[in-house]
Structures are given as C-alpha cells and as structure tokens.
C-alpha cells in the first residue's frame, strides 16, 4: 500500500514538467506513476508545444483564427474548429490577427435586405 502512495507521489514530477510544456497533467501523472524512469526522461527531453506553435505562426506555416483562437494552416480558407471563412488573399504579415477581416457564416444573412 505504501508503495502505491509513493509511486503516485513520484508520478507528480513528470506530470508537472509535462504540464509546463503544454501536455495533459493527468495523462502524464498516470504515465509517471506506472513508468517513472521512462516518463521523467521523456518529459525532460520532449519539446514545448507552446513554443513550437509560436514558431509556426512566426514562420507563416500556421495562423490563428480570429474567432476561436485555434491554430490552422496558413493557406486554409476556413477554420476547421468554428467554420469561420477567411477572406481571400489576406497578407498575414501586413495585418495583425486583431484587425484581420473575416466572414463569419453565423452572422451572414441569405436575403438581400439593406
């Protein structure tokens, strides 16, 4: 019984490290509890998800959806998470995500009323 408690407490170490790098705390706690030696090395060696996403946005490989703030591919015409359509030929480097123009299908009307 004491061994289970010690393993559960030791599993918190890789979970905390992985959580700081943008990973699931509970998943890594379970992984660290069951396989501590492997999990601690794995959590120390793996890349930071948040830093990788920031690099992808800066390089132009991805862009942030102005509606839901999820990352989508730079050449996407529509957000796969919230279905917001992006305008054609947007220059990502010239515009910031806040002033970026987009068409939200939820607020479009199908009638031609003024």
Do 20 and 62 belong together in one domain?
A: no
Most confident of 22-26, 104-108, 109-113: 22-26
- 28-61 pLDDT, tens digit each: 999 999 999 999 999 999 888 878 877 888 888 8
Q: What percent of the chain has pLDDT over 90?
A: 35
Q: What pLDDT is stored for residue 108 in this prediction?
A: 59
Which domain covers residue 60, as residue numbers? 50-107
- The answer to whether position 112 is within a domain reads no
pLDDT (0 to 100) of residue 36 = 92
Average pLDDT over residues 67-96: 74
- As for how many domains the chain has, the answer is 2
For residues 39 and 55, membership in a common domain is answered with no
Query: What tokens does 27 get?
Result: 């998943």
Q: Alpha carbon of 23 to those of 99, 100, 104, 114: distances in Å?
A: 31, 30, 31, 49
Nearest to 46 by CA among 72, 14, 73: 14
Q: Residue 87 above 80 pLDDT?
A: no
- E strand or H helix at 62: strand 62-64
Asked, for residue 113, whether it belongs to a domain, the answer is: no
- From the CB of residue 94, how many other CB atoms can be counted at a distance below 10 Å? 8
Both tokens of 89, joined, read 């030929």
Q: Among 13, 82, 83, 72, which residue's Cα sits nearest to residue 42?
A: 13
Q: Does residue 17 share a domain with residue 37?
A: yes
CA dist., res. 95 & res. 102, Å (int): 12
């Amino acid at each position: 019984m004491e061994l289970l408690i010690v393993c559960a407490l030791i599993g918190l170490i890789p979970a905390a490290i992985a959580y700081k790098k943008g990973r699931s705390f509970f998943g890594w706690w379970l992984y660290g509890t069951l396989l501590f030696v492997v999990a601690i090395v794995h959590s120390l060696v793996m890349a930071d998800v948040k830093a990788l996403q920031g690099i992808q946005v800066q390089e132009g490989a991805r862009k942030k959806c102005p509606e839901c703030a999820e990352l989508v591919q730079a050449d996407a015409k529509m957000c796969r998470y919230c279905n917001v359509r992006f305008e054609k030929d947007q220059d990502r480097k010239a515009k910031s995500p806040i002033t970026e123009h987009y068409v939200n299908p939820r607020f479009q009307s199908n009638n031609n009323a003024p």
